[in-house]
């Protein structure tokens, strides 16, 4: 098969991983709520683990970049996601009138999570395509690593979307749409060839890392503070640690 065929098949397969949330569809509302709380903790671990174990080291290892460029792009990503959330929640923003004061829904959280995930999936698609441009073997191994990396993250993302007030169907559809951006990243990379490498590694990777740190620290961690029980603390710490551990384990596979 050609490089194009192998790449497209791989990124489509990676995109379908976003449907992993289907395993929770049959759960009762009460069980779904408890599961969501656990998935939020897992999401914190996977997002921070992905940022600090995968994305930030990759950004710092870029050859030709000055010492200031990667940290500034990381901080720029955090500021960008902060600004996007503020604009979404502004009194003239698109989501201001969507949420009633008494509601527990967080449409702005769903929005910025989808934005961050879309950028990350674009990068995944670009990395898979770039690997296939080198060799089919490298492309396949990269695809396997991305799939293993995506499973816990997509579970966490699904939990965040449900926690933000979306229905199961809405969360599945939007998560799949966000995951499908990987196809765009792959096609873009195949079209421009080697020229896409610097854009992905020097700009998109650190910006995405900053965005993930912001989502985890500014939006998700405060949500975990609502449960003040010792049992809740132990569960949250365990799942955050599990998310980080998964990201660390997958780093050994890369």
Q: Identify whether 86 is part of a domain.
A: yes
Q: Identify whether 104 is part of a domain.
A: no
Q: How far apart are CA 26 and CA 28, in angstroms?
A: 7
Q: How far apart are CA 206 and CA 153, in angstroms?
A: 18
Q: Identify whether 112 is part of a domain.
A: no
**Residue 219 CB partners (closer than 8 Å, separation 6+):** 85, 106, 109, 112, 113
In the numeric block, which tokens belong to residue 95? 């989501």
Residue 98 has pLDDT above 60, yes or no: no
Q: Identify whether 111 is part of a domain.
A: no
Q: Identify whether 126 is part of a domain.
A: yes
Q: How many domains are there within the chain?
A: 1
pLDDT in tens, 9-43: 999 998 998 887 777 665 665 666 677 678 788 88
**Residue 225 CB partners (closer than 8 Å, separation 6+):** none
pLDDT in tens, 100-127: 444 456 666 788 778 878 887 888 888 7
Q: Identify whether 40 is part of a domain.
A: yes
Q: CA-CA-CA-CA torsion for 43, 47, 49, 50, nearest 10 degrees?
A: 130
Q: Which domain holds residue 133?
A: 3-19+31-99+117-253
**In Å, how far are 37, 164, 183, 211, 221 from 48, measured between CA atoms?**
17, 19, 25, 10, 11
Q: Which residue has the higher pLDDT, 146 or 243?
A: 243
The runs of H, that is alpha helices, within the chain are 3-16, 29-49, 56-60, 69-89, 107-134, 136-163, 168-179, 181-192, 196-199, 205-214, 221-224, 230-253
The pLDDT of 59-88, averaged and rounded, is: 83
Q: Identify whether 78 is part of a domain.
A: yes
Q: Dmax of the chain from CA atoms?
A: 56
Residue 142 has pLDDT above 50, yes or no: yes
Q: Are 136 and 6 in contact (CB under 8 A)?
A: yes
Task: For the beta carbon of residue 71, count every other beta carbon within 10 angstroms.
Answer: 15
Residue 48 has pLDDT above 80, yes or no: yes
Q: Identify whether 88 is part of a domain.
A: yes
């Amino acid at each position: 098969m050609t490089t194009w065929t192998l790449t497209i098949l791989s990124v489509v397969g990676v995109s379908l991983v976003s449907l992993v949330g289907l395993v929770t569809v049959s759960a009762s509302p009460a069980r779904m709520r408890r599961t969501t709380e656990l998935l939020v903790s897992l999401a914190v671990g996977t997002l921070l683990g992905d940022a600090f174990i995968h994305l930030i080291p990759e950004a710092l290892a870029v050859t030709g970049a000055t010492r200031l460029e990667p940290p500034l792009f990381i901080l720029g990503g955090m500021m960008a996601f902060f600004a996007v959330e503020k604009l979404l929640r502004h009194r003239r923003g698109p989501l201001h009138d969507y949420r009633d004061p008494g509601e527990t829904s967080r449409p702005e959280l769903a929005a910025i999570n989808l934005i961050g995930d879309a950028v990350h999936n674009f990068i995944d698609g670009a990395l898979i395509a770039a690997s296939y441009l080198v060799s089919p073997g490298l492309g396949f191994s990269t695809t396997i690593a991305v799939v293993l990396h995506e499973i816990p993250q997509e579970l966490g993302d699904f939990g965040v979307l449900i926690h933000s007030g979306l229905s199961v169907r809405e969360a599945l559809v939007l998560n799949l749409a966000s995951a499908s951006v990987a196809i765009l990243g792959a096609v873009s990379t195949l079209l421009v060839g080697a020229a896409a490498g610097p854009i992905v590694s020097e700009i998109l990777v650190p910006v995405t890392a900053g965005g993930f740190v912001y989502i985890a620290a500014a939006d998700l961690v405060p949500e975990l503070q609502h449960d003040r029980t010792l049992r809740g603390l132990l569960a949250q710490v365990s799942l955050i640690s599990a998310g980080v551990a998964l990201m660390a384990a997958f780093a050994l596979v890369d």
